[in-house]
C-alpha cells in the first residue's frame, strides 16, 4: 500500500506547491486537509478542487467554525487571554483545532506522516508539531518550507514548471493569517518598527478617526458564555461575528505590537480583533461584579499562565487541562448583562447588572441607608498593619 502524507492545506502558494513536492520527494500520496475557522476568502469547495488539481490523492474540507468558537475561542474569552496583556491569541487559538483535524484525517486515511507549511522563524511550527506529538506521537512530521529553505521565488518557479492552477501574479506585501477571532498581519514595510501601519493593512476594522455616532449595546452572559446581544439570542460564533461587525465599524480592536516569540526573537505584528477585545472587555467587567476577591486575584495569575501555554503551543498539555478546569469553575456565577459603548476605537463599559452580583449598594453607598459598620474599621486597620509595624521597629533598632 502506498504511504500517505496528510498536509495542512490553506489553498495558497506554499501548500499548493507542497502537494506535488511531497509526492515527488517521498513517493507518498498526499491528503490535503483544509479547515475553515472563519478565515473568509474562498469557499471550501474551491479550495478542495484546487488541492486535487495540484495533485492531491484526496482533499478533505472541514467546517470547524462553530467548533472553533465554542471549544477554543470561548475558553480564551473566559481566561481573558491577552498575551503580553494585549494580544488575544488570534493565530495561537486556531492551530490546535487544525491539529486535531489533521490527526483525525491521518488516522482515517492511514497516513504515517503529517506536513505543514510553517517557516523556522515562527511560533506555528511549534504549535503544529507539539500538538501532533501530544495527540498522535506515532506520526512523523515534515515541514518543506522550513526544512528545505523554500523561498517564494522557488515555489513560484516550481508551480510554473508544472503548470499548477495557482495565480502567483499578485503578491501582497504582507503575510496575513486570519480567523473569526481576529486577523494578524506582518512582514513588508512593517518589519521596520518605526514605520506606521497604513490603512491598507486593515480589513476587519474601520479607521477609528473617522467621524461617526457611538454604538451602544448590551451583552448577556450565562456562566461566562455570551448568549445574547441586545436581547437577541446568539451562539458563541454569532456573538463574535456580530461584535466583529459592530466593534470593527467603530475601529475597535487594532493593535500594533512588538511581541516576544517562542523561538526567541521579537516580531512586529499588527492585529485586528474587534469582536474578541469587545467580548473580553465586557467579560472582565462582569467578573469584577460576580467573582469573589481572592478567587479573582488568583484567577489573574492562572489567566497569564494559561495564555502563555496556548501561545507557546501547549494547548494539549497537563497543566493547560488543569487550568481549564479551574477557569471553568470560576465561571459559575459570571451571569448578567454588560452595557458597552463602542466609539473611536474604544470599547467602554458604562453599565453592568447581575442577579449574582457581589456588589451591595447599601454597603458601598456614602449616603443615607449605609449599612457598613465603620466602627469596625479602626481595629481592622491596626491589626492588618501590625506585621509591618513590628518589622519597622526591628529595622529601626538595627
- The response to whether 231 counts as a known ligand-binding position is no
Instruction: With CA atoms as reference, report the closest residue to 283 among 343, 242, 330.
Output: 330
User: What span, in angstroms and rounded, lies between the C-alpha atoms of 131 and 32?
Assistant: 18
Summarize pLDDT for 42-54 with one digit per residue, the tens: 788 888 999 999 8
Tell whether 10 is in a known binding site. yes
> Are residues 132 and 104 in contact, defined by beta-carbon separation less than 8 angstroms?
no
Residue of 66, 107, 146, 175 with catalytic role: 175
The answer to the question of whether 123 is labelled as a binding residue is yes
pLDDT of residue 169: 55
Q: Is 95 a catalytic residue?
A: yes
**Looking at domain 361-397, which of 3.40.50.1000, 1.20.5.470, 1.10.3210.10, 1.10.10.10 is its CATH number?**
1.20.5.470
Question: So what's the pLDDT on residue 280?
Answer: 98
List per-block mean pLDDT (blocks of 10 residues) for the chain, which spans 398 residues. 89 85 88 94 86 92 97 98 97 97 97 91 93 97 83 75 66 83 92 95 96 97 98 98 98 97 94 98 98 98 98 98 98 98 98 97 87 90 95 95
Per the residue annotation, which of 4, 14, 94, 115 is the catalytic one?
14
Domain boundaries, the chain: 4-171, 176-291+333-353, 361-397
> Is 16 annotated among the ligand-binding residues?
yes
| The pLDDT of residue 174 | 81
Helix segments in the chain, DSSP class H:
13-26, 44-53, 65-68, 74-78, 90-108, 124-135, 144-147, 152-161, 236-249, 274-290, 293-311, 318-330, 361-364, 377-384, 386-397
pTM: 0.94
- Write down the catalytic residue from 4, 50, 95, 100: 95
Per-residue confidence (pLDDT) for residue 373, from 0 to 100: 86
Lay out the sheet containing 113-115: strands in order across: 58-63, 29-36, 4-8, 113-115, 140-142
Determine whether the annotation assigns residue 3 to a binding site: no
Is residue 366 part of an annotated ligand binding site? no
* pLDDT score recorded for residue 146: 86
The pLDDT, as a whole number, for residue 168 is: 57
What's the rounded Cα separation, in Å, for the pair 241 and 218? 15
Phi and psi, residue 330, nearest 5°: -70, -15
CA torsion sign, 170 to 174 to 178 to 182? negative
213: annotated active-site residue: no
- Rounded to 10°, the helix 293-311/274-290 angle is 150
CA 125 distance to own-chain centroid: 16
Backbone angles phi, psi at 234, to 5 degrees: -135, 155
pLDDT at site 172: 65
Which residue in 50, 115, 124, 346 is the catalytic one? 124
What is the predicted pLDDT for the residue at 156? 77
Rounded Cα distance, 80 and 304, in Å = 9
- 355 annotated among ligand-binding-site residues: no
Burial class (CB in 10 A: 0-12, 13-18, 19+), 163: exposed
330 annotated as belonging to a binding site for a ligand: no
* CB neighbour list of residue 133: distance below 8 Å, 6 or more residues apart: 139, 141
Query: Is residue 87 annotated as involved in ligand binding?
Result: yes
Q: Is 175 one of the annotated active-site residues of the chain?
A: yes
- If you search the block for the grid coordinates 506536513, which residue do you land on? 115
176-291+333-353: CATH, from 3.90.1260.10, 3.40.50.2300, 3.40.50.1400, 3.40.920.10: 3.90.1260.10
CATH 3.40.50.620 for the 4-171 domain, yes or no: yes
Per the annotation, does 127 bind a ligand? yes
Amino acid at each position: 500500500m502506498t504511504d500517505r502524507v496528510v498536509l495542512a492545506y490553506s489553498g495558497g502558494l506554499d501548500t499548493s506547491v507542497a502537494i506535488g513536492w511531497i509526492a515527488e520527494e517521498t513517493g507518498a500520496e498526499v491528503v490535503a486537509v483544509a479547515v475553515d475557522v472563519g478565515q473568509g476568502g474562498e469557499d471550501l469547495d474551491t479550495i478542495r478542487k484546487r488541492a486535487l488539481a495540484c495533485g492531491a490523492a484526496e482533499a478533505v474540507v472541514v467546517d470547524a467554525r462553530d467548533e472553533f468558537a465554542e471549544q477554543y475561542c470561548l475558553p480564551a474569552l473566559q481566561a481573558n487571554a491577552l498575551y503580553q496583556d494585549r494580544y488575544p491569541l488570534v493565530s495561537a487559538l486556531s492551530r490546535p483545532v487544525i491539529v486535531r483535524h489533521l490527526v483525525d484525517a491521518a488516522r482515517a486515511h492511514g497516513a504515517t506522516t503529517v506536513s505543514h507549511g510553517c517557516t523556522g522563524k515562527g511560533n506555528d511550527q511549534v504549535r503544529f508539531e507539539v500538538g501532533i506529538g501530544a495527540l498522535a506521537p506515532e506520526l512523523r512530521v515534515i515541514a518543506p518550507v522550513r526544512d528545505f529553505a523554500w523561498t517564494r521565488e522557488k515555489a513560484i518557479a516550481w508551480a510554473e514548471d508544472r503548470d499548477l492552477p495557482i495565480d502567483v501574479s499578485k503578491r501582497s506585501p504582507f503575510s496575513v493569517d486570519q480567523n473569526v477571532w481576529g486577523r494578524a498581519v506582518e512582514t513588508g514595510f512593517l518589519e521596520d518598527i518605526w514605520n506606521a501601519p497604513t490603512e491598507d493593512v486593515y480589513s476587519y476594522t474601520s479607521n477609528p478617526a473617522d467621524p461617526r455616532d457611538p454604538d451602544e449595546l448590551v451583552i448577556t452572559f450565562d456562566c461566562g458564555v455570551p448568549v445574547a446581544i441586545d436581547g437577541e439570542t446568539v451562539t458563541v460564533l454569532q456573538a463574535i461575528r456580530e461584535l466583529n461587525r459592530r466593534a470593527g465599524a467603530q475601529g475597535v480592536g487594532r493593535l500594533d505590537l512588538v511581541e516576544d516569540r517562542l523561538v526567541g526573537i521579537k516580531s512586529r505584528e499588527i492585529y485586528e480583533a474587534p469582536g474578541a477585545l469587545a467580548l473580553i472587555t465586557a467579560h472582565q467587567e462582569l467578573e469584577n461584579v460576580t467573582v469573589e476577591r481572592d478567587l479573582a486575584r488568583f484567577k489573574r495569575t492562572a489567566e497569564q499562565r494559561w495564555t502563555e501555554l496556548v501561545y507557546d503551543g501547549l494547548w494539549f498539555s497537563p497543566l493547560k487541562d488543569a487550568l481549564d478546569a479551574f477557569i471553568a469553575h470560576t465561571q459559575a456565577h459570571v451571569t448578567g448583562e454588560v452595557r458597552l459603548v463602542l466609539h473611536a476605537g474604544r470599547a467602554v463599559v458604562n453599565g453592568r447588572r447581575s442577579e449574582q452580583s457581589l456588589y451591595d449598594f447599601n454597603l458601598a453607598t456614602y449616603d443615607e441607608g449605609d449599612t457598613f459598620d465603620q466602627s469596625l474599621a479602626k481595629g481592622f486597620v491596626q491589626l492588618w498593619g501590625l506585621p509591618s509595624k513590628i518589622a519597622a521597629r526591628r529595622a529601626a533598632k538595627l
